[in-house]
Chains A and B, each alone.
Chain A
Amino acid sequence: MKYFLGVLLVALSWSCKKDEPEEKDKTPTTSTAINVEDVLKNWSSSIIIPGYEKYNADAADLQSAVTAFRQNVTQENLDVLRSKWKAAYLSWQSIGMFEFGPAAEITLRGETNIYPTDVEQLEKLVADGSTNIDGANKLDVKGLPALDYLLYNDSDSAILAQFTNVNSGSNRLNFLIEVTSQIAENAAMVNTRWSANGGNYGNQFNSAVGTDVGGSLGLVINTLNQHLERHLRDGKLGIPNGNRNFSGNALPGHVEATHKGDISIELAEKNLHAVESFYLGKSVDGEDRLGLDDYLESIGAKYNDGSLNDAIKSQFAACKEKLATIPKPLKENLVSNKSKIDDAVKELQKLIVLTKTDIPSATGILITYQDNDGD
């Protein structure tokens, strides 16, 4: 009798114990099994943190260029400012998809890259001399797209004239400064939170090795899937292509960096490349280290008769190929080369099927915190 009660109690208390503390055991238990923790460590140290550092540095450069431009509104300074803006926009493409942890806390993507910019609202704020761009309804008058508008909405001479206008020039400059400062502040904040001598979120990220919803692997995969679906496939191609509006008409004003006009494909390519590198665990210097590819191989993930990793790698290649065939600039080819955009969207969709269906299935990560008995 007592014996049985004892067994019951021991069993219950043992089962109740969470398994996180034990998983801190860092010695690899097998030679071939890849520890999730090692993949996470590589992601944070070779890709995410260096990515944020780069973006943060570029955002700081951008801010300096704005300061110089304010002091001297010249064509020369405008050119420098524009090149810094483009550099920051490109490095943004390497980290914008990591909308979890510190970035999610301050909704970095919403603060930095909502497009198209609401030009009317922006001009009204400038006319009113306001620099208040806080709050959810101001997300489309700020960030890198707002700079796209401010720096490229007209000819060079006209832009310079806007900033030197006797009535509104200083308002416009102040607005430019506020937008840029916020970009730089947000970049710095997220960068600090990840770094070891700042908030050290990297450490927290590396140690959340479970496959549950709180685990980093699940967090990363779910976030990347959302990114691929809504921000890469839809945001960069599908929406300008008219896939999401009832009329089905192309929307050239909805391409990324529409006022600059000729870098939309470049930005998309940079982003796709970044997602692929992340999948492969490729460091910012191009060295192939531990990534999801290695992990999928180590758990023997299959796709039909081949390996899932091979299927995903060749799908990345297909996406890159189709993206490269779209003639630049995107906004001028939306109608004339619609079929090429459709093709790229289709290939991205196939990639999404693999990352959204096959990867979670193979890795056992959970999409939501919910009991599941397997059906």
Chain B
Amino acid sequence: MLNFNTLKKNLITKEVDIAPLVIFRILFSVLMLGSLLRFWLNGWIYDFYIMPKMHFKYFGFEWVEPLRVSGMYILFGVAIAATIFMMVGLFYRIASVVFFLSFTYIELIDKTTYLNHYYFISLMALLMIFLPAHRFFSFDAKRNSNIQSRKIQAWSINVLKLQLGLVYFYAGIAKLNYDWLVNAQPLKMWLPVHAAKPVIGFLFKYTWIAYVFSWFGALYDLLIPFLLLSKKFRPFAYAAVIAFHALTYWLFPIGMFPFIMICSTLIFFSEDFHKKLLFKLEQLFNWNPQILNSNPAIVSQPLLSVLALFFIFQVVFPFRYLAYEGPLFWHEQGYRFGWRVMLMEKAGSAFFYATDKATKQKVEIRNCDYLTAGQEKMMATQPDMIVQFANYIAEDLKTKGWENPEVTSEVYVTLNGSGSRPFIDPTINLAELEDSWQEKTWILPFK
């Protein structure tokens, strides 16, 4: 019979070497530093947070505003500095709090830029705040012998494994849908475009390869956490991790995500692996302090409870879409924050019309007067953004002297190559609506 106390001991309180956590701290910080610098150098701070006139706010976070021009750059600078402090383990707690807050604040400004891996980073950053990742091979440990420790409790590493495993597993569950498995969509559309690519490109024109990729992708996501946990399968599993993510990087514009996963999954490797790696780093940086103390950061009951809630939330939240009728990919109510990555090919065109109720004057709106090309593209397929945009148009027209503008739309969307079809009830006055979690009955059925 499973002994709860033994299980608890093994997973939570058992003392283990700190090396995996230290390596993770360094890799995570370096990747975040790289991500932020890349973002900055691509000019995206301007493109996404300064140039747009309006921002698509998240429900409940309408108060999050972009800072003024220099403020945005300062905010990114703060986040960048925080990654460096985390990396070297100087003022680690403060740095990790600052990183979590600054990064999450940036992401909350506009849902146009929503990516699953940004959400993942925010979650990871939140966890990092509570982990004793700075107790070894860090400036904090050097300055303060009280916190030094070669040992930590197993929970500190297991929460990271759990978080990663959860991401993969849920990404796998999300792939268990008819279009993905039976129609091999959207890969059937995405792959042929790459038929002119070198070496294996010629394969992409075949339909069966889309099926292979779809099924392999689903199995990969569902199984990889377990394979990585198993000592026997780990080498094979990690080779699969590299192959899978390298392939997606090669084919799709998914930014830093592949590297983040390739590096993060190293946490599943053995203590010995990390010890050797850390030893190399110690030699490289002439790190050889006398470890006087062993302070393994004993987990408190409140922290355990908070962590439990943190994970329960993540287990439940992706399923909120069940509360809505109709196909999720079409209406996208409850789509975000569910690890639905590269699951569908969706594109749309949205035309908006404003009518002054008093004078019956009707005018077509030029989307580009309000939105950037990227915002227009994202808005055209996502009902919550369509409402937000219509509200914004109405507010803008009010400032131009319209008394009670009515905003209607004509939106066409194609989903997984279905061909474009009407998406939003063209008679509904979107200006009267507000984005909420209520069922959006004015989304036309997918047929």
Interface residues of A (CB under 8 A from B): 1, 4-5, 7-8, 11-12, 14-15, 19, 22-23, 25, 28-30, 32-33, 35-37, 209, 211-212, 222, 230, 234, 238, 243-248, 298-304, 308, 311, 349, 352-354, 356-358, 360-364, 366-375
Looking at chain B, what size class is its interface with the partner chain?
35 or more
Q: What 7 A-B pairs are tightest by C-beta distance, nearest first? A: A371-B255, A368-B374, A361-B347, A374-B342, A33-B195, A303-B419, A11-B242
**A5→B364 CA distance, assembly (Å):** 58
- Complex Cα distance, B332 from A304, in Å, reads 21
Known pairs A7-B242, A246-B361, A375-B340 / 8 extra A-B pairs, C-beta < 8 Å: A4-B235, A7-B238, A8-B266, A19-B197, A29-B195, A30-B195, A238-B364, A371-B115
**Which of A37, A360, A363 has the most C-beta atoms of chain B within 10 angstroms of its own C-beta?**
A360
Contact of A349 among B235, B250, B254, B351 (CB under 8 A): B351
The interface residues of chain B lying within 8 Å CB-to-CB of A300 are 192
Main secondary structure of the interface of B (DSSP, over half): mixed
CB–CB B341/A11 < 8 A: no
Q: Mark B413-431, 1 if CB is under 8 A from A, else 0.
A: 1100111110000000000
Q: Are A357 and B349 interface neighbours, CB within 8 A?
A: yes
CA A245 to CA B255, docked complex, whole Å: 42
What CA separation (Å) do A32 and B242 show in the bound complex? 31
B193 touching A364, Cβ below 8 Å = yes
- In the complex, which residue of chain B has the Cβ closest to the Cβ of A249? B361
Q: How far is the CB of B361 from chain A (nearest CB, A)?
A: 5
- Quick one: which of A30, A299, A356 contacts B193, CB cutoff 8 A? A299
Give the distance to chain B from A232, nearest Cβ to Cβ, in Å.
Answer: 14
Nearest B residue to A38, CB-CB: B196
Residues of A within 8 A of B242 (CB): 7-8, 11
Q: How far apart are the CA atoms of A360 and B345 in the complex, in Å?
A: 10
Specify which of A22, A25, A370 lies most central, judged by the most chain B CB atoms within 10 Å of its CB. Answer: A370
**Cα of A194 to Cα of B348 in the assembled complex, Å:** 33
B366 CB contact (under 8 Å) in A209, A244, A356, A362: A244
Stretch touching chain A among B62-70, B256-264, B287-295, B388-396: B256-264
Query: Contact check: which of B246, B336, B380 meets A15 at CB < 8 Å?
Result: B246
Question: In the complex, which of the residues B239, B336, B362, B414 contacts A357, with contact meaning CB atoms closer than 8 Å?
Answer: B414
Shortest CB–CB separation between residue A362 and chain B, in angstroms? Answer: 6
Contact partner of B341 (CB less than 8 A), chosen from A30, A33, A374, is: A374
- Which A residues are in CB contact (< 8 Å) with B336? 375
User: Please, which residues of chain B bring their CB within 8 A of the CB of A353?
Assistant: 349, 412, 420
Q: How far in angstroms is the closest Cβ of chain A from B257?
A: 7
A351 to chain B minimum Cβ distance, whole angstroms, is 11
Q: Which residues of A lie under 8 Å from residue B238 when comparing CB positions?
A: 4, 7
Please state if B351 and A308 are interface contacts (CB–CB under 8 Å).
no
Known interface pairs A244-B363, A370-B113. Does A361 touch B189 (Cβ–Cβ under 8 Å)? yes
Q: Which residues of A contact B257 (CB under 8 A)?
A: 371, 373
Answer yes or no: B182 CB below 8 A from chain A CBs: no
CB-based contact A373/B117 at 8 Å: yes
B86-94, B100-108, B198-206: which lies at the A interface? B198-206
Task: Given A361-B189, A373-B115, verify A12-B412 contact (CB < 8 Å).
Answer: no
Contact between B250 and A372 (Cβ–Cβ < 8 Å)?
no
CB distance from A5 to the nearest CB of B (A): 7
Which residues of the partner chain A approach B356 to less than 8 Å between Cβ atoms? 246
Q: Is B285 an interface residue (CB 8 A)?
A: no
B75 interface residue (CB < 8 Å to A): no
B228 → A minimal CB distance (Å): 13
How distant is the Cα of A302 from the Cα of B198 in the complex, in angstroms?
A: 26
Query: Nearest B residue to A360 by beta-carbon distance?
Result: B347
Nearest Cβ distance between residue B191 and chain A, in whole angstroms? 9
Q: Could you show 7 A-B contacts with beta carbons less than 8 Å apart?
A: A29-B195, A248-B362, A299-B192, A357-B348, A357-B414, A361-B189, A375-B340
Most buried by B among A358, A368, A371: A371
Select from chain A the residue with minimum beta-carbon distance to B266. A8
How far is A299 from B206 in the complex, measured between Cα atoms in Å? 10
Most buried by A among B42, B198, B420: B420
Task: Judge whether A357 and B412 touch: CB under 8 Å.
Answer: yes
Asked whether B196 lies within 8 Å of A366 as measured between CB atoms, the reply is: no
